[in-house]
Structure formats: C-alpha cells, structure tokens
Structure 1
Amino acid sequence: MEKVIEEQKQGTSLVLDQRKDNTKKLFIESYGCQMNFSDSEIVASILANEGYNTTQNLEEADLVLVNTCSIRDKAEQTVRKRLEQYNAVKKINPVMKVGVLGCMAERLKSKFLEEEKIVDMVVGPDAYKDIPNLLKDVNDGRDAINVILSKEETYGDISPVRLNSNGVTAFVSITRGCDNMCTFCVVPFTRGRERSREPQSIMEEIKDLYKRGFKEITLLGQNVDSYLWYGGGLKKDYDKATDMQKATAVDFAQLLDMCATAYPKMRFRFSTSNPQDMHEEVIHVMAKHHNICKYIHLPVQSGSTRILKEMNRQHTREEYIALVDTIYRIIPEISLSQDMIAGFPTETEEDHQDTLSLMEHVRYDFGYMFAYSERPGTLAARKMEDDVPEPVKKRRLQEIVDLQQRIAMERTKRFVGDTVEVLIEKTSKRSDEHWSGRNSQNTTVVFPKETYKVGDFVLVKVTDCTSATLIGEAVGYSEMQ
C-alpha cells in the first residue's frame, strides 16, 4: 500500500532500442508500483546482454515475463488472466517460455510452477541476475525458480536500459526492501529487509542520465527517508557499525543534498516517504534547493491513532499532524499526497471520522485511496478478522474520495494567476496542439506548444484549472533551462 499504483501504466510492455546482433525476442509487462517498472528495466538490461531484444508483439516472443504485484487483489487477478492469455499463445508457439517476476513470484511460487503449471520460471525481486542460469534450466527441461531474498542485492552495478517514453524523466532506485512490518503489507515478505545502495553508484547513474539529456530524476525506494549507507549491510544492523563507518555514513538528507548540488540543472523528486523516518533535515534540504521539487508523498493510511496502532504504523495521528505542520512551516508552497485505507479491521465510525478530520487539517493535493482487502501472508490476514462489512467499506471510501476531490480542487485553484515552472514531458492527451508537464508541486500543467519542445523548462502563467490540471500560457524559459 505504500507505493503509488498508477492505473494508466498497468500492463505496460517495455520496448527498448534494438541491438543488431540480438536474435531473440523478449516481451516484458509490468504491474504494480514504480519500483516494479524500474525493476523491469534492470531485467531488460540483463537480458539484452543474453541476446534478447524487446518486442510488443506477444506472438513473436521467445520469452514472456510479467513483473507482478501483490499489494492489491485486483493486480493479482489481472496477472492471472494475462498468464492464461500467454499460455493460449504458447500453444501456437510452443518454444515460447513464460516467467513470473517480482512480488507474486515470491508468494505463489509453488502454486504457479507445480500445482497450476502455468509458468516455466519464477524469479523473486532479488534474483534477476540469476535469470540467464534459470533460462538454461528451463531449456534443459527443469523447473526454474529463485525467490531467495538477499541482504545485499541492490542492482547498483547494473545500468538500467531506460524506457524510451520521453527521455526526460527517470527513476533511480536507492533502497530495496522494507523493515516496517505494517500489518496490511506484503512488501517485507516479498522484497526482504531494507538495504541501501552505495551513494557513488547512485551518483554515477545520475551522471549518465544527465549526459544523455534527462532532466528529472525520482529517487525511488519502498522507504527512501530511511536511506542509510555505512559501507553496506542492512539498515537494522547500523548499531553494530564501527565508529569510522558511522562517521562516514550517508543518510537521505545528505544524499538529496549531494544530488541537488551536483546537478543544479536537473530536478529531483523522491518516493515513497514514511512519516516516522522523515527527519526535519530533509525538509530543510528541500527548502534550500530550487531544483528539489516541492512535493512529498506521505502515506498515512488512517487518521485514527488506534487504527494506526492496529496497522503497526510507527506514528500516531498527533505525530503525523506535527510533522505536516513542520513541513508547511518550512515550505509553505509544498504539495502533499496520501495513501488511505478505508475499512481496516475493527475500524469504527469514529475512526473513520478521525480520517476525514485529518484530511481536512492536512489538505492533501492528491490521494491514493482504497478499501481494505486482505492480502495473504500479512499479519492482518493471519491475526485479524476482516470484520467491516463491504457496503460500509465502500461508503467510507466514497466519503474519503469525495472529500479528497473537493480539497484537491481548492488546492489546485491556488495556482491560478501565478506563474509556475514546468518541465515539458509530452504532448497533452486532450490536444496535439498543447504540451503537458508538471510543476514543482507535481500538478499537471497544459499550455499551447508554440516553439517549445520536450525537455524544456518553461514558465507558464496559469489562467484556469480543473481539479487535477492547470491550464495556462508559456511566458518564457525558466532559469533551469
């Protein structure tokens, strides 16, 4: 639930530059969070060196991989349907191999391979480097499986082959895994314990992206704020580090400052933040640098301290509100977004009202809101009865969505009359005559194309808005250009 699921991206197949010498075809499809899409780029990079070019034509593929998500039941059902479709094609093209990657792979390994026999290969999130060996096992007629979770793997030594969507924005992973053990979440079980990537490898990847013309980087992790590099090892083992390791350790505030200082003509975002790990120093670093976007995705899940305790969130309602108040004090122009779960086990009407009142106080610009669905393998599924009736969940969710839409409209209106800096990312969906990009606060901005181009930093005078989009006209380039 911590990660943002972008519905319009679900099931996107990855297409990369073709290598002339490669003769095999890879069809790779991704579901779930940004981390899964980033991981697909790593897998494609590994397989490019094994003779595979990507294709969007399923029928011609030698290898079909689906990168999966276990966060929500809907994603699992969608993936199952896709696997059925893959296997229908496999009857026509029997040499085709089918593999499942990612979070579902870890959770449903024996079911997929042995019971249902719907895949040839199962690969967990920490085993992508083993895919060439697993393919040999498949070709030799053996089941191929590696879902071992690693304490060290960060893929810091692999330069991902980028999606050729716009050449402007890119994700750079800085942490893997999660230690938080929220009772509703499968991530610690499917992605393992939290570990941070060596900062020099992060800076090298950003340097390469800068040279190739990318203009905006999102630092990515299940929990970026707890980034901590002290020479390698798990975050939880930091207390065992030597005095020298602690003295030379790099935390998230320092990493963010390094990135923004080294590349003043690039914009930086980050996702996802956990409230208990977001220290004030990070907020001061954001305020100091113009090129760090003034936007934080700050999941809360519930406005009730009692429910937060049931969820094993490491913060109370009061602590969350105090953090938000601090953020607004230091960066008044900030935009915040939330994750919210309606109908968690034992949630009462009073708990629900606490959530609505928290939303009124915080005034989120965006939100990702879901009715609770029990995820197998989580503590909540094992220990808690899913006791809130479905109609009650749906009604509470609708009240949360309605409130968020009202607040979002009010928040978006604050930009009307202002001039905002926009990085042009693509042509607007609504009109071929307009560009689309985002301002620092992550709000979409559309404006007439004129002579500007993708990748330009442009100042846009905002004249109108909808609840999610700003409409305006460019008045020149920004200082970032």
Structure 2
Amino acid sequence: MLDQVTKVHDESRQGEAFAPEATENQSYSKKFYIESYGCAMNFNDSEIVASILNQEGFGATRDIEEANLILVNTCSIREKAELTVRKRLTEFNRLKKSTPGLLIGILGCMAERLKSKLLEEEKLVDMVVGPDAYRSLPALITEAGTGQKSVNVLLSREETYGDISPVRLDNNGVTSFVSIMRGCNNMCTFCVVPFTRGRERSRDAHSIVREATELFDNGYREVTLLGQNVDSYYWTSADDSETVTFPQLLERVALINPLLRVRFSTSHPKDITDEVLFVIAKYENICNYIHLPVQSGSTRVLQLMNRTYTREWYMKKVERIREILPDCGLSTDIITGFCTETEEDHQQTLDIMRFAFYDLAYMYFYSERPGTLAARRYQDDIPEDVKKRRLAEVVELHRQQSEANMKKDVGKTFKVLVEGTSKRSDEHLFGRNDQNKVVVFPRENFKKGEYVMVKVDSCTSGTLIGKAVQ
C-alpha cells in the first residue's frame, strides 16, 4: 500500500521486542522472544500470543540468546516494513545455525500474504501463523519441532480472542490497548487488511469491559479501544437479547471509573456519528481526540480509493466535530501520489489540510501492494520523484500547522496523565493531555500513573513544556 512513511509525534512502534517483568521472574521451562511491527493492533496481538504461550510453559524474554522460540509479528501495509522483517529473519537464521532446536515463526499480516514464499522458497521460517490462528500455536510449535514446516493462515468469521486475557508486554503500567473487533469490511483499494485480517467481527462487549476493568484494578489509567474501524463496532449476544453499538460500548468503558481515561482508534469518516461525539462530550474521562483519516483531499481520488465519501462530506464531518467538541484534537492519514493523481488533486489535499488544521498527521507516498484492488485495477503511474515532492510539500505544511497548534496551547493548563520519565532528563516527567499532545514538566514528587495539572509555558514543534500547578 504505502511506503516512505513520515510520522510526526508518532506513537507507533517498529520492531520492538517486549517481555513483561512478571514472566521474567517466574519459572518457565522455555523462553520465547517476540518482535512486533506496524500498528497497535499487532502489538495487542503479540500480547494475546504471549498469553497462549505462557499456558504452554513459555516465558517471554528480552534476551534473544536464551530464546527457544523467536517470533516476528508482521505488517504488510508498507513495503519498507516487509523488507525490514526479511532482514531480521535472515539475522535470526544465522543465530539458528549455532542454536540447536531454535524455532523461528512469523505471525500476522505478512505471514498471511507470503506464506508459501517464506516457508518453501526462502526457507526463512519454521512456522507461519495468520492473525486468526494464534490458538493453534502450541500444535504448530510441536509440529515444527519434529522438523516439519507448519502453517495455519486460515481466516475466521468468528475469532476475536475475547476470552483470552493478554499478557501486557509493554510494562509501562499506565496505558494499554484493548482490542474490540477484528478484520475490516471496507474495501479501500490501496489496503491489504481485508485480505490479511478477514471480515469484520465485533468482540463480546462484556469481555471488553471486563478486560478494561482488570487493567484499571491493576493500576492502569488509560485504555485505547482498538479496531480497524471502531465506529462500525456492533455486537449482538448469542440469544439476540442484547445489542451494543460503539457509542454504547464507549460509555460502558467510561463508566468503569472516572480515573480511567478512554481513547479509541481508528474512526472511518463515513461511520463516526453524532452519538459518538455526544458521548465523548458527556464524559470527562473520554479524551477529546479523534483519528480521522482523510487519505486525499480530492473527491476524484477518494472515489478511486473507494473511501465512500467526498471532500465536501469529510469537511462537514470535521465541522460537526468542532461544533460538538470545540477542543478536540484531530489527526489524520494522508497518501500522496495515488494512481492518476494530478497537481490539482494534490493541491486539494493541501487545501483540506489548511481547513482541518490537523494536530497530528501520518503522511506517506503511495507504493503498490500486491493483492490489493488498486494493484489489479489501476496503473501506478505517478513518477517516484513526483510522489516524493508532493509528500515533502504535505510534510512541510503539516510541520507549520503542528508548530502553530503547539504555540496556541502556551499559557493554557492541562490535566496530564504521567506516563514516565522524560527521555531527555531524569528530573522531568512526561505524559499526554486530553488532545494527545505530549507534555513535559519537572518531576517534583509526582509519580507515574498520577494526574497532574500542568500549565504550559513554552513548546517545541512536538512537545508542550510546563510546570505543575495546584
């Protein structure tokens, strides 16, 4: 789909390995090492995998040298991510030659898309496990241990892993993700997700509330509800006696405790409703922050992308958000150089950026992903130098807007949830405000997980800087 991603204040992580302190302190006969790439959904999936492996006697480790099993949870969204994963698999195979019995497995979207190539042609892995097949991991590990290549990439219309309590691999201890649905029914022409993660299905609402409650009881103070398109969440009980929509679910999670902050991602512009906006406005602990991908400012290009909304419709949605939630932070995704994009189309994208004035943007130039509808229907006909030039113009405009958005917050006071120590100074803490902006302030006697009122007195292009006030 996309390549050469440029991120501003990007919270996503690429290729990080995690192991919870709890499992490191327990006695496990075997160890697994896992790296995750791509979106927050992938990192949440890795926590589900960790829970399944714990039940089979595997404990997580950050030390690859002591691992009996190496897993890479992959992303197929960008070509760059796939190239990075291939490089890592090659490095792991060098380690395997000197480590008898070591098994290497690939999980997630790339596993689904490139199963035969990775197993047979390149011989980089011992097992391939798709996003809906993690329950079969124990059997696949046993099979791979006999020298056989093992694979399960079957997609499911039912699997949500709702009954599995994830092992929190990122031991931040303050913020966490809760998956509320899997798959996607939107057939955006540039996107591989419907083919790698399958059809959309919503998780049992009671299991979501239970997981979020357990997180709060264990000291977490923020949850982000995850889905490819959270606004289309729609769960019905087995006996059809209960139905829960996304705004209803959002309210249920907010009611767990006023001290539990609630975020969500991602919203599709065609599905986010006034009801969602009014629920956000009603509850102080639901953050005023919405990720609303636009992709392009041109109605013609949006139609080619099968985004199912027009430029004008999107702008009206932004206006409605501003009307109901005046202080709402707004972020987006933008693709430059999609098939047949003209200079006029590109200028319309810049224009819609000026209209929405995003706080945060994830900006890419288009590169064709095999298997997508765009790869089948359209010619990737925009020269790479043109794509990059247009991307540079988008990035520069957003840089200016981001700086202006930061400056307008100087002098204001925000409620900040402390997430940890600043990377630049042990004497400072950092957290985020309601609009998802990073705030840094002197440590004093405050601790991780506390809420602190901070008055902003200066800023950089990506961080608000202030001091705690009473």
TM-score class normalised by the smaller sequence: over 0.9
Do structure 1's residue 358 and structure 2's residue 352 form an aligned pair?
Answer: yes
Give the conservation status (yes or no) of the 8 Å contact 1:72–1:375: yes
Do structure 1's residue 408 and structure 2's residue 412 form an aligned pair?
Answer: no
Residue 172 (structure 1) aligns with:
178
Residue 387 (structure 1) aligns with:
381
Alpha-carbon distance in 1 for matches of 2:353, 2:26: 54
Partner SS, residue 277 of structure 1: coil
1:194 maps to which of 200, 205, 210: 200
Residue 70 (structure 1) aligns with:
76
Do structure 1's residue 12 and structure 2's residue 16 form an aligned pair?
Answer: yes
Partner SS, residue 84 of structure 1: helix
1:277 maps to which of 261, 271, 281: 271
Partner SS, residue 356 of structure 1: helix
Residue 334 (structure 2) aligns with:
340
Give the conservation status (yes or no) of the 8 Å contact 2:106–2:125: yes
Return the offset for 1:136.
1.4
Do structure 1's residue 83 and structure 2's residue 65 form an aligned pair?
Answer: no
Q: CA-atom RMSD, angstroms? A: 1.5
Return the offset for 1:386.
0.6
Alpha-carbon distance in 2 for matches of 1:294, 1:45: 32
Alpha-carbon distance in 1 for matches of 2:425, 2:375: 46
Return the offset for 1:9.
2.1
Unaligned ranges ≥5, structure 2: none
Q: What aligned pairs does 1:93-242 form with structure 2 within 5 A after superposition?
A: 93-231=99-237
Unaligned ranges ≥5, structure 1: 233-243, 477-481
Alpha-carbon distance in 2 for matches of 1:8, 1:275: 21
Residue 255 (structure 1) aligns with:
249
Return the offset for 1:164.
4.2
Alpha-carbon distance in 2 for matches of 1:269, 1:7: 13
Give the conservation status (yes or no) of the 8 Å contact 2:12–2:38: no
Alpha-carbon distance in 2 for matches of 1:380, 1:207: 42
Return the offset for 1:431.
1.1
2:415 maps to which of 389, 397, 421: 421
What CA deviation, in whole Å up to 9, does each residue of 1:154-197 have, x standing for no partner? 00000001124310001000010000010000000000000000
Give the conservation status (yes or no) of the 8 Å contact 1:422–1:460: yes
Residue 432 (structure 2) aligns with:
438
Q: Which amino acid aligns with 2:118?
A: F
Q: Structure 1 428/451 Cα, relative in aligned 2: closer, same or farther at 3 Å? A: same
Q: Structure 1 218/7 Cα, relative in aligned 2: closer, same or farther at 3 Å? A: closer
**TM-score if structure 1 supplies the norm length?**
0.94
Residue 49 (structure 1) aligns with:
55
Partner SS, residue 9 of structure 1: coil
Residue 452 (structure 2) aligns with:
458
Q: What aligned pairs does 1:265-344 form with structure 2 within 5 A after superposition?
A: 265-344=259-338
What CA deviation, in whole Å up to 9, does each residue of 1:310-344 have, x standing for no partner? 00001111110000000000011011001000000
Partner SS, residue 37 of structure 1: helix
Partner SS, residue 114 of structure 1: helix
Residue 463 (structure 2) aligns with:
469
Alpha-carbon distance in 2 for matches of 1:262, 1:32: 30
* More divergent stretch after superposition (161-170 vs 106-115): 161-170
Return the offset for 1:273.
0.6
Residue 237 (structure 1) aligns with:
none
Alpha-carbon distance in 1 for matches of 2:113, 2:370: 9
What CA deviation, in whole Å up to 9, does each residue of 1:341-395 have, x standing for no partner? 0000000000000000000000100000000011111011112111001110000
Return the offset for 1:7.
7.5
Give the conservation status (yes or no) of the 8 Å contact 1:4–1:33: no
Give the conservation status (yes or no) of the 8 Å contact 2:101–2:145: no
Residue 33 (structure 1) aligns with:
39
Alpha-carbon distance in 1 for matches of 2:468, 2:223: 23
Give the conservation status (yes or no) of the 8 Å contact 2:213–2:256: no
Return the offset for 1:432.
1.1
Q: Structure 1 349/4 Cα, relative in aligned 2: closer, same or farther at 3 Å? A: closer
Partner SS, residue 396 of structure 1: helix
What CA deviation, in whole Å up to 9, does each residue of 1:418-473 have, x standing for no partner? 11000000111111110000000000000000010000000001101112110000
Give the conservation status (yes or no) of the 8 Å contact 1:4–1:34: no
Return the offset for 1:414.
1.7
Q: Which amino acid aligns with 1:10?
A: Q
Do structure 1's residue 371 and structure 2's residue 375 form an aligned pair?
Answer: no
Q: Which has the higher contact order (CA 8 A, sep 6+)?
A: 2
Give the conservation status (yes or no) of the 8 Å contact 2:224–2:265: yes
Alpha-carbon distance in 2 for matches of 1:260, 1:8: 24
Q: Which amino acid aligns with 2:217?
A: K
**TM-score if structure 2 supplies the norm length?**
0.96
Return the offset for 1:140.
2.4
Q: Structure 1 4/136 Cα, relative in aligned 2: closer, same or farther at 3 Å? A: farther
Alpha-carbon distance in 1 for matches of 2:257, 2:298: 41
Residue 236 (structure 1) aligns with:
none
* More divergent stretch after superposition (138-147 vs 436-445): 138-147
Give the conservation status (yes or no) of the 8 Å contact 2:12–2:39: no
Q: Which amino acid aligns with 1:305?
A: T
Alpha-carbon distance in 2 for matches of 1:394, 1:181: 26
